[in-house]
């Protein structure tokens, strides 16, 4: 079984308590239809396991297949510099079929981001490097497509429908 490399750290975007007994990491692509299908399932799982689950999103843009995967990842990271990563993350998935450079600018306005700063941050090489680092960590961890999940550091190879993913999470929460 593949292991998450590196483990979750301060560079990651997380939701839920750091002390949660379960950490679910997704390597995702904002334009991937499979990631889009997994998005509402993950939201329900986050709600179902609130307080016991920490969710982490790492960028794995498949730019050779999805034209707006990298611009969307940059938009989420730029929004993150204004403490709005998760809001942008959600908008990108909720409006996945509308992704374009114009739509990304509109999402920034909806979130009331500082637009001049946002536009500058979209050009920030450090954000590109963060996305590249996420991608490389995915490759080292055995990711070969999106979405890919890790439960407590171990690659999950099952289906990502709610029932299958919930069952795997529940199994990890059971005392040994």
Judge whether residue 1 has pLDDT over 80: no
The pLDDT tens digits for 96-147 are 999 999 999 999 999 999 999 999 999 999 999 999 999 999 999 999 999 9
DSSP annotation string for 116-129: HHHHHHHT-HHHHH
Instruction: Go through the domains of the chain in sequence order and give each one's CATH number.
Output: 21-173 (3.40.30.10)
* pTM of the full structure: 0.96
């Amino acid at each position: 079984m593949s292991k998450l490399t590196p483990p979750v750290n301060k560079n990651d975007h997380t939701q839920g308590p750091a002390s949660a007994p379960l950490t679910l990491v997704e390597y995702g692509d904002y334009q991937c239809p499979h990631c889009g299908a997994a998005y509402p399932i993950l939201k329900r799982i986050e709600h179902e396991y609130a307080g016991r689950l920490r969710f982490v999103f790492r960028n794995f843009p498949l730019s050779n297949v999805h034209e707006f995967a990298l611009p969307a990842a940059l938009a989420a990271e730029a929004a993150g510099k204004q403490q709005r990563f998760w809001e942008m993350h959600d908008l990108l998935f909720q409006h996945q079929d509308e992704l374009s450079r114009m739509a990304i600018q509109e999402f920034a306005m909806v979130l009331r981001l500082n637009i001049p700063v946002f536009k500058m941050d979209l050009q920030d090489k450090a954000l590109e490097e963060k996305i590249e680092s996420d991608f490389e960590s995915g490759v080292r961890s055995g990711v070969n497509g999106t979405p890919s999940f890790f439960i407590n550091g171990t690659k999950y190879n099952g289906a990502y429908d709610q029932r299958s993913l919930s069952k795997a999470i529940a199994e990890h929460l059971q005392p040994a």
